[in-house]
Amino acid sequence: MIAVRFTTALVLLAGCVAALLYLPNGWWALLLLPVLAMASWEWAALCGFRSAVRAAFTAFVVGSALVIGFFAGNSVASASRLSTLEFAIYSASLAFWVLVALPWLAQHRQVQSRPALAAVGWIVLIPAWLALARLQAEPGLLLALLGAVWIADTAAFLVGKAWGRHRLAPRISPAKTWEGVAGAGVAVAVYYVVLSSVAPQWRAWQGWGGALLFTGVALMSIVGDLFESWIKRQAGAKDSGTLLPGHGGVLDRVDSVTSSMPFAALVLPYIL
């Protein structure tokens, strides 16, 4: 299983990095649509929807992305400037994660309303798609931000597995520990220092603004991970799907991105 998991991760990483770095922005945004569709299909299943409603929800999410992408596309994609539409969507995303998702997790709230869960799925998925699509206008910057998410996730897993003793959220994800969170923080801090040294020309990782950005990305990635775990636990599912051998579904691989990238897209214009 470990070999299968590693192979899948390697293939996904290589494909993602190659597409991110070399595809034109428009083609990259289109490439993300099938990923969004698969994530939407899995989310609908976690909501308890049957096939017809799952298909309708998936179509609605992808259709929303196309409409939003069309209107956002009237402005040049840039990490240093947001359109009014982008600002509204990213702000709504941050408000959801801070004011809704965190209390939801803290209170272990069970939400049985399928329409409410569908609405949550929209606000989880659409801002993440838009942020990934728009930030790719500066490929190196997006790759650096995603690197922080991947490093935080990997460090949390390895440190938690080796030294984890104190559970972070036992009712949500028993394998996650405070030691893992600390390991993720240290790993991202080291990553930030290295980036500052090897690419000092990038203002996104300079001074307190860069430290705030990378700290926020790491913390938000943990929140997204925990939230998807709670949604799966509420639905009685171990994984969101079976598409990715050794990893589960698409949602299982993008859960940290759904919360961290809209935050990054919102904060970046103020530190660049």
Query: What is the pLDDT at residue 200?
Result: 67
Q: Are 216 and 263 in contact (CB under 8 A)?
A: yes
pTM of the model: 0.93
User: In terms of Cα–Cα distance, which of 96, 99, 97, 74 is closest to 84?
Assistant: 74
Q: Express each pLDDT in 213-224 by its tens digit.
A: 999 999 999 999
Query: What is the pLDDT at residue 13?
Result: 84
Length of the chain (residues): 272
Query: What is the pLDDT at residue 110?
Result: 86
Q: Express each pLDDT in 16-57 by its tens digit.
A: 999 999 999 999 999 999 999 999 999 999 999 988 999 999
Residues 6+ apart with CB under 8 A from 43: 57, 121, 124, 125, 231, 240, 251
Domain residue spans of the chain:
2-270
Strand pairing category for 167-169 and 173-177: antiparallel
Query: What is the pLDDT at residue 261?
Result: 97
Q: Reply yes or no on whether the pLDDT at 259 is more than 90.
A: yes
Q: Express each pLDDT in 64-87 by its tens digit.
A: 999 998 888 766 666 667 888 999
